[in-house]
């Protein structure tokens, strides 16, 4: 029976063997030390050309924009990345031409806002090695890694071209004899995650949707956290049921207020729909887009300057109001 089992033809970009990850993890310094640094230093130290990167959040919600800007500014190339509802983050990394391979579940689009013409150009160029997955499959791949097992059985993907272009494998359940899809653990080299609250050690709490960030933090070799607010360790300990990411997985912590801008930060500020529309618009004109990127990313010394250029506190206050009035 097993000779009829299908395998996806997509490339597997990362190691699947949990014993390799275990050996890495064993050597990590697990002391509860301060990991406070700057975005610039974190990217210099923890993101290298060729690394496989996973971004937390949900495309335009709770996304680590400051770190992605810095990755672009520092000119990282040949990255791999997981397109797990990758919307504005995919748009940014495409703008920086930072990657050459991608596990794609949701890329090039910005949900209801439309499609990024530049991200499409990049993905249509033939220069990107793409392996297909579903959002669920990528979530479960992170979960397998976070659980410390080499794969998880799932019941989606079967029978489709998404499966055929993935690196999943059909297998038979040892108990029911029924077919399931096995999806391999995904261990990113670096995870970049933006959270609501973190202490200096990297214990993190998140409000609203968690997406896959609990698992991504555990799955990744290195973890960079940006946080809206640095809080005292006592505050974490006051609500231990709310802690999503434990300190020992984390390598860098940076306080970046409005760090998800122009994305939404649940409970704090809404997305800047005007700015995202501008992105989609300028991408259609090569020269305009170049100038736009120069202004908003390359010429900015840091994320604060980007915020300043896009309306500063006045704009942020508007987005805060929008979030709370829910309009």
In the range 153-182, which residues lie near a second copy by CB under 8 A? 153-155, 169, 171, 173-176, 178, 180, 182
187 touches a second copy by CB under 8 A: no
Residues 108-127 that bind other proteins (CB under 8 A): 108-109, 111-113, 115, 120, 123-126
**CB 206 → a second copy: shortest distance, Å?**
8
Count of residues near a second copy by CB under 8 A: 30
Peptide bond into 262 cis (omega under 30): yes
29 touches a second copy by CB under 8 A: no
How many Å apart are CA 94 and CA 86, to the nearest integer?
11
User: Which CB atom, from 42 or from 61, has the smaller least distance to other proteins?
Assistant: 61
How many Å apart are CA 28 and CA 189, to the nearest integer?
14
Name 179's bridge partners: 172
Q: Which of 37, 38, 48, 165 binds other proteins (CB under 8 A)?
A: 165
Helix axes 65-73, 88-95, angle to 10 degrees: 10
User: Which CB atom, from 75 or from 267, has the smaller least distance to other proteins?
Assistant: 267
How many Å apart are CA 134 and CA 300, to the nearest integer?
35
Compose the 114-153 pattern: x for residues touching a second copy by CB under 8 A, - for all others: ----------------------------------xxxxxx
157 touches other proteins by CB under 8 A: yes
Residues 60-99 that bind other proteins (CB under 8 A): 60-61, 83, 85, 87
Residues 23-62 that bind other proteins (CB under 8 A): 23-26, 29-33, 57-61
**CB 288 → a second copy: shortest distance, Å?**
41
Helix (H, G, I), strand (E, B) or coil at 224: strand
Given a second copy, other proteins, none, residue 153, with its beta carbon under 5 to 8 Å by kind, binds a second copy
Q: Which of 229, 266, 280, 320 binds other proteins (CB under 8 A)?
A: 266
**CB 74 → other proteins: shortest distance, Å?**
27
**CB 206 → other proteins: shortest distance, Å?**
9
How many Å apart are CA 263 and CA 280, to the nearest integer?
14
Which DSSP symbol is given to 7?
B
Which DSSP symbol is given to 9?
-
**CB 153 → other proteins: shortest distance, Å?**
10
CA angle 45–51–256, rounded 5-degree value? 50
Q: Which stretch binds a second copy (CB under 8 A): 35-43, 78-86, 211-219, 240-248?
A: 240-248
264 touches other proteins by CB under 8 A: yes
Beta-carbon-side half-sphere exposure of residue 89 (alpha carbons within 13 Å): 33
Phi, psi of 74 (to 5 degrees): -80, 0
Q: Show the 3-state SS of 51-117.
A: CEEEECCCCCECCCHHHHHHHHHCCCCCEEEEECCCCHHHHHHHHCCCEEEEEECCCCEECECCECH
Q: Are 235 and 248 in contact (CB under 8 A)?
A: no
Interface residues with a second copy (CB under 8 A)?
12, 16-19, 148-155, 169, 171, 173-176, 178, 180, 182, 184, 206-208, 210, 240-242
């Amino acid at each position: 029976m097993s000779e009829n089992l299908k395998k996806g033809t997509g490339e597997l970009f990362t190691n699947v063997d949990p014993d390799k990850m275990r050996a890495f993890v064993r050597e990590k310094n697990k002391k509860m030390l301060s990991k406070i640094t700057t975005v610039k230093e974190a990217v210099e130290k923890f993101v290298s050309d060729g690394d496989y990167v996973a971004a937390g959040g949900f495309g335009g919600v709770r996304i680590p924009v400051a770190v992605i800007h810095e990755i672009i500014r520092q000119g990282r190339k040949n990255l791999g990345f997981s397109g797990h509802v990758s919307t504005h983050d995919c748009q940014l990394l495409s703008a920086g031409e930072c990657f050459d391979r991608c596990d794609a579940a949701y890329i090039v689009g910005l949900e209801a806002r439309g499609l990024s013409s530049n991200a499409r150009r990049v993905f249509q160029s033939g220069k990107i090695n793409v392996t297909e997955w579903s959002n669920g499959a990528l979530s479960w791949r992170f979960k397998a890694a976070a659980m410390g097992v080499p794969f998880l059985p799932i019941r989606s993907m079967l029978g489709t071209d998404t499966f055929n272009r993935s690196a999943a494998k059909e297998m038979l359940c040892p108990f029911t004899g029924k077919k399931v899809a096995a999806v391999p653990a995904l261990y990113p080299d670096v995870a970049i995650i933006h959270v609501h609250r973190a202490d200096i050690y990297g214990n993190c709490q998140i409000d609203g949707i968690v997406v896959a960030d609990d698992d991504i933090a555990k799955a990744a070799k290195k973890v960079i956290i940006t946080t809206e607010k640095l809080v005292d360790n006592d505050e974490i300990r006051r609500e231990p049921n709310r802690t999503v990411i434990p300190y020992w997985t984390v390598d860098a912590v940076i306080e970046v207020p409005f760090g998800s801008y122009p994305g939404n930060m649940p409970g704090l500020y809404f997305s800047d729909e005007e700015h995202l529309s501008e992105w989609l618009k300028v991408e259609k004109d090569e020269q305009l887009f170049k100038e736009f990127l120069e202004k908003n990313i390359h010429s900015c010394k840091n994320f604060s300057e980007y915020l300043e250029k896009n309306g500063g506190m006045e704009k942020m206050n508007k987005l805060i109001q929008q979030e709370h009035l829910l309009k």
